[in-house]
């Protein structure tokens, strides 16, 4: 099976978002003191690292080239996060709010791809995307729980 340009582009968009999320989680991890939240964020760094490798492998399996870096939008978001946490007294709660916002956006992107009737995904791709989406849902629920605990 050969991927269409549309599928390849969408998977590379996910890969770019994954790079951005991994970098964002690393930044967030450095900004919090709460050991439980720090561990949660470290786990998300590793998760997104794994997602990136899985996405790259899947893209390459179908003869396409994976993107190599994050996006300007992700860089700007991290800069903004860095700036706002400098002036916020409750960094952990604010960071967890940003985690939730990012995870919701990721879920939307995964759902758009999985629910796009115009794209026929290989079973391996569909299974990988469903697995990632379910792990993102779990991360979102955990972020909400941690945010409630620290507020």
Sign of CA dihedral 13, 17, 20, 22: negative
Taking only the tens place, the pLDDT of each residue in 91-139 is 888 888 888 888 999 999 999 999 998 888 999 999 999 999 999 999 9
pLDDT given at position 3:
67
CATH no. for residue 46? 1.20.1260.10
Alpha helices in 32-122 (DSSP H): 35-61, 72-86, 91-114
DSSP output for 78-104: HHHHHHHHHS-S-HHHHHHHHHHHHHH
**pLDDT tens by residue, 63-97:** 888 877 654 554 554 454 554 454 344 588 888 88
Count of domains observed in the chain: 1
Domain that holds residue 100: 5-150
pTM confidence score: 0.83
- Using alpha carbons, select from 61, 60, 34, 46 the residue that is nearest to residue 145: 34
Give the pLDDT confidence score for residue 28 in this predicted structure: 86
């Amino acid at each position: 099976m050969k991927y269409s340009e549309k599928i390849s582009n969408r998977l590379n968009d996910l890969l770019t978002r994954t790079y951005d999320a991994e970098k964002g989680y690393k930044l967030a991890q450095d900004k919090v003191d709460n050991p439980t939240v720090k561990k949660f964020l470290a786990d998300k760094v590793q998760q997104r690292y794994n997602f990136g490798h899985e996405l790259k492998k899947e893209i390459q399996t179908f003869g396409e080239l994976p993107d190599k870096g994050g996006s300007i939008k992700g860089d700007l978001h991290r800069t903004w996060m860095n700036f706002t946490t400098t002036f916020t007294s409750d960094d952990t709660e604010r960071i967890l709010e940003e985690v939730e916002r990012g995870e919701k956006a990721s879920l939307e992107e995964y759902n758009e791809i999985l629910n796009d009737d115009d794209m026929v995904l290989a079973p391996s791709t569909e299974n990988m995307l469903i697995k990632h989406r379910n792990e993102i849902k779990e991360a979102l629920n955990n972020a909400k729980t941690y945010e409630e605990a620290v507020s």
